Amino acid sequence: MTNSKPPLWRDDRFWQITGQVIAVLLALAIVAILWGNLNRNLQQLGIQFGFGFLKQQASFDIGETLISYQPTDTYRQALWVGLINSLRVAVLGIIFTTIIGVMAGIGRLSDNWLVRNIMLVYVEIFRNTPLLLQLLFWYFAVFLSFPRIDNKITLWGLLGVSQNGIELPWFTLSPEFAALLLGLTFYTGAFIAEIVRGGIGSVSKGQWEAARSLGLKPSSIMRLVILPQALRVIIPPLTSQYLNLTKNSSLAIAIGYPDLYFVASTTFSQTGKAVEVILLITLTYLTLSLTISLMMNLFNRRVQIRER
């Protein structure tokens, strides 16, 4: 007897591939329809779609730059300045918020009553108040309440604090940048603290007892035994918090820090190129988010416990 091949319409793989093809075609059709409507609306308004404005002179100043920029430079250079300023906040924010979040998360499980409750108060306050409100608090209630530069507060001869920001021997932090960085760090750190606490709680008590039986110190137990096992639970939600921090940095416009969104808003106001500017912002934040997700997914694979 010869085995006859089943009909194609009974093959599950056929329907899976067909469904994916249909979904792609529908998505392309929707994009084509939206693009057609956009072009018709722009033509009716007498607006020509294009990115030629990027070569035009920006004619506006940016208060804080890490690369060379003058008002006589192009809009492209101005947007680069904004992007670098955004990356500066995102990278430092991710580093500092990880440190604070891990410390607060471990502190929430401390045997010390004072430490445990201080961390509890921190988490509840910063996690349950709006980020924008916190940014305004850091900027207006904290930094703008410091003395003027001629009466700055000096700590240990290395750190200077005034209305001009925070001064360190190797660089200076403007009040706008410092307020944004502190706001994002402490706000996101409160969420990371709960993620770390949950990840540590997912490790069985037997691991603690086995480590204690080996004579390890509590700090060594946490560093060598508990945290490595908790990472598989911590990293996925931690990635979401990194993405939130990066996107929330766009609130910098509320306190005057010239990030990408701030510069793009000024560019749109001067050129009227709303669609092009929004498209650039969307693609930029999408690229940043996908890059962070890729890096965290690669890290997540490396720390996963491989079972025999």
pLDDT of residue 304: 72
Q: Where is mean pLDDT largest: 112-116, 158-162, 227-231? A: 112-116
Whether pLDDT at 4 is above 80: no
pLDDT of residue 8: 67
pLDDT of residue 2: 52
pLDDT confidence bin for 1, thresholds 50/70/90: very low
Strand order in the sheet with 165-167: 153-155, 159-162, 165-167, 172-173
Whether pLDDT at 150 is above 50: yes
Of residues 170 and 279, more confidence is placed in 279
High-pLDDT (> 70) share of the chain, %: 95
Of residues 241 and 224, more confidence is placed in 241
Q: Tell me: the pLDDT tens digits for 83-107?
A: 999 999 999 999 999 999 999 999 9
Q: Where is mean pLDDT largest: 4-8, 184-188, 299-303? A: 184-188
Number of Cα atoms under 13 Å in the Cβ half of residue 288: 25
pTM value is: 0.84
Q: Which residues contact 62 (CB under 8 A, 6 or more apart)?
A: 69, 78, 81, 82, 258, 263
pLDDT confidence bin for 217, thresholds 50/70/90: confident
Alpha carbons 58 and 42: distance in angstroms, whole number: 23
pLDDT confidence bin for 307, thresholds 50/70/90: low
Which contiguous run of DSSP H or E holds residue 220? helix 218-221
pLDDT of residue 38: 74
Of residues 14 and 81, more confidence is placed in 81
pLDDT of residue 218: 80
Three-state SS at 153: strand
Nearest-5° angle of CA 214, CA 217, CA 220? 95
High-pLDDT (> 90) share of the chain, %: 51
pLDDT of residue 136: 94
pLDDT of residue 169: 73
Average pLDDT of the chain, as a whole number: 87
Mean pLDDT value across residues 54-58: 93
Three-state SS at 154: strand
* Cα 99 to chain centroid, rounded: 15
Lowest mean pLDDT among 22-31, 80-89, 209-218, 268-277: 209-218
